[in-house]
């Protein structure tokens, strides 16, 4: 008897955790941490409640594991940022493009922001980890980019907190997208152009 299904039972089993985390993501996005039932997640995977508890001890640990699971693409973003080359302006523009591509467009990273905002007080470690691992490094890189631009005479000397202002339009678009889900369509390109236009004019020496 030829094995029709490409997945052996062992392979099937190896995928379970990821399957559960993917399902958990969808359910938690839809209803939030408290209102999501473990059974909803199980149903989405096509198993029963009990199975979830085979892999995760509590709903809380499942949530935290899910957060780690969807945070992975952030590492790519950081890696990509560090590989940029060109003038400071060019690198800045590319960095902003990366933000739009990874954060605004990637649903998982977008919803990660929603979890940080809405479940933050229930899972403070999640927020802190998120910032220590992603936001702070990104901000540091951006700051170094601005400093370098200033030193090279490419950018004018800028006040403190400038780095935050520089990425703000991407954050704002991310938030709007989160809020409107599908009810209003926002055009990424239009936003990106206005963003780059504003900050490059605002920064040039």
Site of tokens 């990424």: 188
Separation of alpha carbons 205 and 197, rounded Å:
15
**What residues are paired with 204 via a beta bridge?**
155
- Say whether residue 122 binds DNA (CB under 7 A): no
Rg, Å, the chain Cα set: 21
Write out the binding residues for DNA, residues 18-37 only, by CB under 7 A.
35-37
Q: How many residues bind DNA (CB under 7 A)?
A: 22
- Say whether residue 3 binds DNA (CB under 7 A): no
Nearest approach, Cβ of residue 112 and its own copies (Å)? 12
- Say whether residue 143 binds DNA (CB under 7 A): no
In 83-135, alpha helices (H): 88-99, 107-118, 124-130
Residue 18 contacts which entry, DNA, its own copies, none (Cβ below 5-8 A, type-dependent) = none
Closer residue to its own copies, CB minimum distance, 61 or 118: 118
Closer residue to its own copies, CB minimum distance, 18 or 179: 179
Write out the binding residues for DNA, residues 54-93 only, by CB under 7 A.
54-55, 57-60
Residue 82 contacts which entry, DNA, its own copies, none (Cβ below 5-8 A, type-dependent) = none
Binding window for DNA (CB under 7 A); candidates: 5-13, 90-98, 123-131, 186-194: 5-13
Interacting residues with its own copies (CB under 8 A): 30-32, 34-35, 114, 116-122, 124, 127-128, 131, 156, 158-162, 164-169, 171-173, 175-176, 178-181, 183, 187, 190-191, 193-195, 197-203
How far are the Cα atoms of 2, 16, 70, 82, 155 from residue 137, in angstroms, in the given order?
51, 32, 18, 10, 21
* 106 backbone φψ class: left, alpha, beta (φ>0; ψ -120 to 50): beta
Cα–Cα–Cα angle for 39, 42, 45, rounded to 5 degrees: 155
Compute CA 34 distance to the chain's CA centroid, rounded to the nearest angstrom.
22
């Amino acid at each position: 008897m030829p094995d029709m299904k490409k997945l052996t039972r062992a392979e099937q089993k190896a995928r379970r955790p990821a399957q559960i985390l993917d399902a958990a993501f969808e359910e938690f996005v839809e209803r939030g941490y408290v209102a999501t039932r473990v059974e909803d997640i199980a149903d989405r995977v096509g198993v029963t409640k009990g199975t979830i508890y085979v892999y995760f001890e509590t709903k809380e640990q499942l949530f935290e594991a899910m957060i780690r699971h969807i945070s992975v693409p952030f590492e790519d973003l950081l890696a990509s940022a560090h590989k940029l080359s060109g003038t400071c302006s060019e690198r800045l523009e590319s960095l902003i493009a990366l933000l739009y591509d990874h954060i605004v467009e990637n649903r998982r990273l977008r919803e990660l922001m929603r979890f940080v905002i809405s479940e933050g007080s229930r899972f403070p470690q999640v927020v802190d980890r998120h910032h220590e691992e992603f936001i702070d490094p990104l901000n540091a890189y951006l700051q170094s980019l601005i400093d370098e631009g200033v030193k090279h005479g490419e950018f004018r000397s800028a006040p403190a907190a400038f780095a935050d202002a520089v990425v703000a339009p991407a954050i704002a678009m991310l938030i709007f997208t989160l809020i409107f889900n599908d009810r209003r369509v926002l055009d990424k390109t239009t936003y990106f152009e206005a963003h780059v236009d504003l900050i490059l004019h605002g920064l040039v020496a």
